[in-house]
Structure formats: structure tokens, C-alpha cells
């Protein structure tokens, strides 16, 4: 299979025009998003759906999240990622296979119908996680395109995947909200350097390879600005797999907790990695256990 | 002299009611601030003056800042503070004694007349610095009250000092703006633990002693919320010496640069430190070279 998006193989970064659609379906009267929402997703690479989950649904999910965070012993140890400074749990991966409530969330009909519409295919969960940026000590996530990693390290062939972040706590301007460079999903910024073996063991805490260069980010941000995707518990942020995003640290007392589900098109199943020797393990990138949801 | 604000001497934190005024003068027709501005400063512990400096004045100050940052060899080495990760210059202290332009800024009639009004006394520069939170790698400053440190480590007797931050670049919601807990200046949160010798050598990069406990911060923030003091180049943020403040990291390409001047009332000159063996050096806390400005 030809590599449309080669990365981590040159000494200097390049900008490759995206050759895949962003919205794969056409608008019909039965579309699960409005024309305005589809337009924004297409143009900016993200859309925020307000109040998709009721306060009582969020209460249940939050209770489940607390239960999981408070009982790390009940979870597969390798799916836990801790903050490098404080040792606090920062993410639980493959959460939809470790919690019935999170499995139901991943299979939620609203979410999956939106994913199937935008990707015009049956979808499966490529990755799921509970992201918990604790108060006081939550550290930043540097700028990155998820697709760059999924392509190079996991073997995802094309840009036909998206992420949904279900807000379990208010994401305010103060507690390190998700920042996206609008329109950045239309260009693929190649990263320089090679991928070390077992990169995932350190990259989930602090990524050093597969990060874009400062000049490219500065240029993208100068052209398009930066959007902070703030919202209330129950809102859902949907963003394209190639949107350039990151977040600042969180010194406030208010944790930033989100459930995070990545849907990939069945037709876009993982191949051999495009730039790594060994594929990353199943808990980070579904390879074997592909089941279409809904 | 009795210690009204003992800190770093107990095992548990305490909240001590402020026994000093916030605004020391009464409103007169010749006051350099409006009644609304004075009210906000009194209630919230800060006020932002919009467009106090013209674009051309800021252009000159920014050029001076770049000149200083680019020529660290020309500066007193101990006044330079670098980022712990990247080694980039984060602050230049005592900048008003190392640059004629910054000396003029510290003596600026607008700034000093406001300081003299709020403190109802002649004032001198207790500390000055150029703060430069670089793009991409700028780290957070954890919550703190300046007065706590100035009292314990420098021997500032009373809360009769204030800080002015002159914005040299836009301080946006995205690049780690100053965050303050409104009204926090009315309570003194004691810190636990003792101050190590020569604490300033590490505390300017990352403070571990003299930081308030998480419960006190959580309580203050739950009561009063958090305000992010964003603004344009040329705006001036004035805040009380005991306002609880901090800032998140900055992964954006946009640096956050401010000139920072602390004015103290002449009557509030430094004594022996209230909780440290040796006073901190002159470049951090003016002790000998006290000259009233304007």
C-alpha cells in the first residue's frame, strides 16, 4: 500500500495536502447533524455539540470514572498512564473493555450514528480512554495530530477516523481545555526523526518523537488562530483525526475529566505500521478485536 | 516588631484575616483612578487599566526587552532565571537598574502616582523584572501570594505594596495569562514547613516551600472563582501584594512578555526576614538601595 502520509523519515518537516475527505457523507434530511454543524466540522475540523448528555447521564458516567480511578488495582495495569511528576492517574486506556458503563457509552446510538455519518461507513472503536487532568498538578499535552501517530505507529492508512470527547466536568478557559488550530486538519505536517522502539511506554506521558516542529505550528497558528474548546459537562467535542491540538497545564483546583472515544471506519482498519517496527499494543490501538459498534 | 502574618511555622495551614487596608487613600477629585477602578481594586484585589501605554511606547519597551533577552552576557548573571526544562531565560530581575528604558518605566509618572495613591505614601521599587514566558515551552507558575514570600523571606512587615504588570505582548486565554482568585487578598493563607537556606536559588524556577496547600486554594476558588487577566500590549494589570495568583503553561507559539514592577510604601521598608535566617539578595528584594521614585 502506498504511503500517502510519510512522516518521521526526513530531516526537515514537510506539509502534505490532505487527499482524503473530511465529511464522507452528503447532507440528507436524516443526517444526525445540522448543515451548520457539518459545515463547521468540515471547515474547522471540529464541532461542539452542547448538552448531548443529560445531567443524570453525566452523573452516572462521572461516578463510574471515579470508581475506576479509585480502583486502579481492578484494571489492566498497562492501560494506566500516570503523570510524570505526581504519579497521579492521567489516563485509563481501553476503558470501553474494562467498564460496562463505558462500553455502553462507546456504543451510544447518538455518538455512533454521528460517526457513521461523518465517515460514511460502519465504525469501530480504535481507542478509548478516560482522560483525567487533575487539579493543581495537571500537565500540558503538546501539539500533535493524532493521525500522525496512528498512521506511523499503528498503521492507520487514511484520514477516516474521528475523536469524540464527552465532557464529564466543565472544561473552562482556566483548567487546560482542549485547544485546536482551526483548519489544521487540511494539511499533514510531517515530523522529523525516527520512532524509537516501544515509544508508547514514554510517549503517553510526554511525547518527544512524532511532535510537529515549532515553525510549522507557528505558521498554522498565525494563519488560523487558536480555538479553546470549552464547554459544560454533557457537551461532546468531535474532532477530525488530523486536527492539530494540545492543551496547557491545569493549576486550578478543578479537574478536567473527559471520556474519549476514537471511531475509525471499518474500511480503514489498521495495516502494518507505516514507520515503526512493531505495532503498538491492542489497548492503545485496536487491531485484532475489531467489532463494529451499533 | 510583632509578626501579624506568621507563616511556615506550623504543621497545618491557617487563615489569618488581613489587618491592613487595601486602598490606603480616600477618593478625591484628583485621584489617578476612577471610583469604579478603586472599588474593583479594593474588592477583587486587582484592576486592569486598558491602553495605558501607546503602541509606540510598547514598541520601544519590547525592543528593549528583546535586546536584554538576546544579550544575557551584558547582564548581572545572578539576575537571570532560566526555565528548568529548556534553559530559556524566564525572568530578568532588577531590570530597572540594568536598563535605562526600564528605569524610566519604573519611574513613569502614571504608574508611580497610582502606586502613591493606593498606598498613601512615597513608594520605591521593591523588585522589578522582565517576565518572559516563551512560546511552546513556557511553564506554569503555581498559586502563591507574593506577600507571603516577601514577608517570610524578605522581612516586608505589612501589606502595603502592589505589583504592576505592563503587558508587552497580548496576554490571551491561550498563552498562560495571569490568573487571580478575586477577593483572595483579604485573607492570609499561612504555608506549612520551614524555609530552606538559599531558597531563592531554586524557588524562582519552581517553588516548593511557601506555596499554599491545595485545600485552602480549593476553598478560595470555590468561594470566589478564578479570573484570567487577559489584555493587549499596553494594558497594565495592578494587583495587591497578597492576591493569590498563578498561571498555566504556554504551548502556543505566542510568548507572554510583561515588565513587572513592585512598588512598596517607604514606611513599609524591609526589616529582618520573619521566617528565614538570611535575607534574600538585593536584586530580588531592595533593602539597601531604597530610593523613592517620583
Instruction: Give pLDDT tens digits for B251-265.
Output: 999 888 899 999 999
By C-alpha distance, which of A108, A130, A104 is closest to A52?
A: A108
Looking at residue B72, its pLDDT comes to: 87
Looking at residue B27, its pLDDT comes to: 85
Shortest Cα–Cα distance, A225 to chain B (Å): 10
By C-alpha distance, which of B291, B261, B263, B285 is closest to B272?
A: B285
* Beta carbons of B227 and A172 less than 8 angstroms apart: no
Sole residue written with cell 494540545: A246
Confidence of residue B11 (pLDDT cuts 50, 70, 90): confident
pLDDT in tens, B138-166: 788 899 999 999 999 999 999 999 999 99
How many CB atoms sit inside 10 A of residue A218's CB?
A: 15
pLDDT in tens, B165-200: 999 999 999 999 999 999 999 999 999 877 767 767
Suggest the residue from B181, B223, B250, B253 to mutate for an interface test with chain A (most A CBs closer than 10 A): B253
> Chain A residue with minimal CA distance to B139?
A249
pLDDT in tens, B28-49: 888 999 999 999 999 999 999 9
Note the helical H segments in chain A: 35-44, 55-70, 100-106, 109-119, 146-149, 200-203, 214-224
Q: Hey, what's the cell of B86?
A: 529548556
> Chain A residue with minimal CA distance to B222?
A253
* Domains in chain A, CATH or no CATH each: 15-21+33-261 (2.60.120.620)
- Tell me the C-alpha to C-alpha distance, in Å, between residue A181 and each of A21, A178, A216, A224, B17: 18, 10, 12, 6, 45
By C-alpha distance, which of B126, B143, B284 is closest to B211?
A: B143
Looking at residue A217, its pLDDT comes to: 94
Q: Average pLDDT of B126-148? A: 89
Looking at residue B202, its pLDDT comes to: 67
Q: Hey, what's the cell of A258?
A: 473527559
Looking at residue A53, its pLDDT comes to: 96
Strand order, beta sheet including A236-240: A46-49, A236-240, A161-167, A256-265, A123-133, A89-93, A80-82
Q: Hey, what's the cell of A56?
A: 443524570
Coil, helix or strand for B218? helix
Q: Hey, what's the cell of B111?
A: 504608574
Looking at residue A206, its pLDDT comes to: 58
Shortest Cα–Cα distance, A25 to chain B (Å): 33
In percent, the amount of chain B with pLDDT more than 90 equals: 73
Range A61-82 burial, b when 16+ CB lie within 10 A, else e: beebbeebbeeeeebeeebbbe
Of A218, A246, A249, the CB nearest to B248: A249
Shortest Cα–Cα distance, A248 to chain B (Å): 5
Looking at residue B84, its pLDDT comes to: 72
Q: Average pLDDT of B103-111? A: 96
Q: A42 in the Ramachandran plot: left (φ > 0), alpha (ψ -120 to 50) or beta?
A: alpha
Looking at residue B10, its pLDDT comes to: 84
* Beta carbons of A53 and A61 less than 8 angstroms apart: yes
Instruction: Enumerate the residues of chain B whose CB falls inside 8 A of the CB of residue A228.
Output: 173-174
Shortest Cα–Cα distance, A218 to chain B (Å): 5
Residues of B with CB under 8 A from a CB of A: 135-136, 139-143, 173-174, 176, 179, 214, 217-218, 221-222, 226, 228, 246-254
> Chain B residue with minimal CA distance to A173?
B173
Suggest the residue from B251, B254, B255, B256 to mutate for an interface test with chain A (most A CBs closer than 10 A): B251
Res. B80: pLDDT tops 90: yes
Kindly report the average pLDDT of chain B as a whole number.
91
Of B143, B173, B252, the CB nearest to A251: B143
Shortest Cα–Cα distance, A100 to chain B (Å): 32
Shortest Cα–Cα distance, B249 to chain A (Å): 5
Q: Does B248 contact A248 at a Cβ distance shorter than 8 Å?
A: yes
Looking at residue B204, its pLDDT comes to: 62
Q: Does A179 contact B249 at a Cβ distance shorter than 8 Å?
A: no
Looking at residue A287, its pLDDT comes to: 93
Rounded distance between C-alpha atoms, residue A20 and residue B134, angstroms: 35
Sole residue written with cell 464547554: A231
Rounded distance between C-alpha atoms, residue B237 and residue B179, angstroms: 11
By C-alpha distance, which of B54, B52, B65 is closest to B256?
A: B65
Rounded distance between C-alpha atoms, residue A238 and residue B94, angstroms: 48
Q: Hey, what's the cell of B171?
A: 496576554
User: How close are the terminal C-alpha atoms of chain A, in Å?
Assistant: 29
Q: Is B50 exposed, middle or buried (0-12, 13-18, 19+ CB in 10 A)?
A: exposed
Shortest Cα–Cα distance, B77 to chain A (Å): 28
How many CB atoms sit inside 10 A of residue A87's CB?
A: 9
Q: Hey, what's the cell of B114?
A: 497610582
User: How close are the terminal C-alpha atoms of chain B, in Å?
Assistant: 29
Looking at residue B185, its pLDDT comes to: 98
How many CB atoms sit inside 10 A of residue A50's CB?
A: 9
Range B4-42 burial, b when 16+ CB lie within 10 A, else e: ebbbbeeeeeeeeebebebbebeeeeebbbeeebbebbb
Three-state DSSP string of B95-138: HHHCCHHHHHHHCCHHHHHHHHHHHCCCEEEEEEEEEEECCCCE
Of B135, B173, B253, the CB nearest to A173: B173
Looking at residue B128, its pLDDT comes to: 97
pLDDT in tens, B200-243: 766 666 556 778 999 999 999 999 999 999 999 999 999 999 99
Instruction: Enumerate the residues of chain A whose CB falls inside 8 A of the CB of residue B135.
Output: 214, 218
Rounded distance between C-alpha atoms, residue A145 and residue A190, angstroms: 10
Rounded distance between C-alpha atoms, residue B28 and residue A107, angstroms: 66
pTM, to two decimals: 0.84
Instruction: Enumerate the residues of chain B whose CB falls inside 8 A of the CB of residue A246.
Output: 251
Q: Does B218 contact A253 at a Cβ distance shorter than 8 Å?
A: yes
* φ, ψ of residue A155 in degrees (nearest 5): 85, 30
Instruction: Enumerate the residues of chain A whose CB falls inside 8 A of the CB of residue B179.
Output: 174, 251-252
pLDDT along chain A (294 residues), means of 10: 88 93 92 96 98 96 92 91 75 95 96 97 96 80 94 96 96 92 96 75 64 92 95 97 95 89 97 91 92 83
Rounded distance between C-alpha atoms, residue B95 and residue B129, angstroms: 5
Looking at residue A202, its pLDDT comes to: 67
Of A141, A221, A254, the CB nearest to B252: A221
Residues of A with CB under 8 A from a CB of B: 135-136, 139-143, 173-174, 176, 179, 214, 217-218, 221-222, 226, 228, 246-254
* Beta carbons of A266 and A217 less than 8 angstroms apart: no
Rounded distance between C-alpha atoms, residue B8 and residue A260, angstroms: 42
Suggest the residue from A189, A251, A254 to mutate for an interface test with chain B (most B CBs closer than 10 A): A251
Instruction: Enumerate the residues of chain A whose CB falls inside 8 A of the CB of residue B254.
Output: 221
Element (H, E) at B146: helix B146-152
* Beta carbons of A155 and A274 less than 8 angstroms apart: yes
> Chain B residue with minimal CA distance to A255?
B218
Looking at residue B205, its pLDDT comes to: 60
* Beta carbons of A143 and B251 less than 8 angstroms apart: yes
Amino acid at each position: 500500500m502506498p504511503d500517502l502520509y510519510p512522516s518521521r523519515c526526513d530531516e526537515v518537516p514537510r506539509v502534505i495536502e490532505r487527499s482524503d475527505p473530511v465529511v464522507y457523507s452528503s447532507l440528507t434530511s436524516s443526517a444526525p447533524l445540522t448543515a451548520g454543524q457539518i459545515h463547521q466540522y468540515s471547515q474547522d475540523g471540529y464541532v461542539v455539540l452542547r448538552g448531548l448528555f443529560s445531567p443524570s447521564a453525566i452523573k452516572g458516567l462521572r461516578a463510574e470514572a471515579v470508581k475506576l480511578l479509585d480502583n486502579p488495582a481492578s484494571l489492566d495495569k498497562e492501560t494506566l498512564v500516570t503523570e510524570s511528576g505526581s504519579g497521579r492517574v492521567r489516563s485509563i486506556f481501553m476503558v470501553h473493555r474494562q467498564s460496562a458503563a463505558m462500553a455502553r457509552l462507546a456504543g451510544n446510538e447518538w455518538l455512533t450514528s454521528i460517526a457513521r455519518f461523518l465517515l460514511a461507513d460502519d465504525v469501530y472503536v480504535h481507542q478509548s480512554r478516560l482522560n483525567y487532568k487533575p487539579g493543581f498538578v495537571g500537565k500540558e499535552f503538546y501539539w500533535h495530530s493524532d493521525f500522525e501517530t496512528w498512521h506511523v505507529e499503528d498503521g492507520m492508512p487514511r484520514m477516516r477516523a474521528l475523536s469524540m470527547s464527552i465532557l464529564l466536568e466543565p472544561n473552562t478557559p482556566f483548567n487546560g481545555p482542549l485547544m485546536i488550530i482551526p483548519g489544521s486538519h487540511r494539511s499533514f505536517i510531517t515530523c522529523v526523526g525516527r520512532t524509537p522502539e516501544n515509544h508508547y511506554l514514554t510517549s503517553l506521558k510526554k511525547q518527544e518523537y512524532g511532535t510537529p516542529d515549532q515553525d510549522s505550528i507557528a505558521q498554522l497558528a498565525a494563519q488560523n488562530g487558536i480555538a479553546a474548546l470549552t464547554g459544560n459537562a454533557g457537551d461532546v467535542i468531535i474532532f477530525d483525526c488530523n486536527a492539530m491540538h494540545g492543551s496547557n497545564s491545569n493549576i486550578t483546583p478543578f479537574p478536567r475529566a473527559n471520556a474519549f472515544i476514537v471511531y475509525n471506519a471499518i474500511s480503514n482498519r489498521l495495516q502494518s505500521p507505516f514507520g515503526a517496527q512493531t505495532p503498538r499494543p491492542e489497548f492503545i490501538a485496536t487491531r485484532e478485536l475489531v467489532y463494529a459498534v451499533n
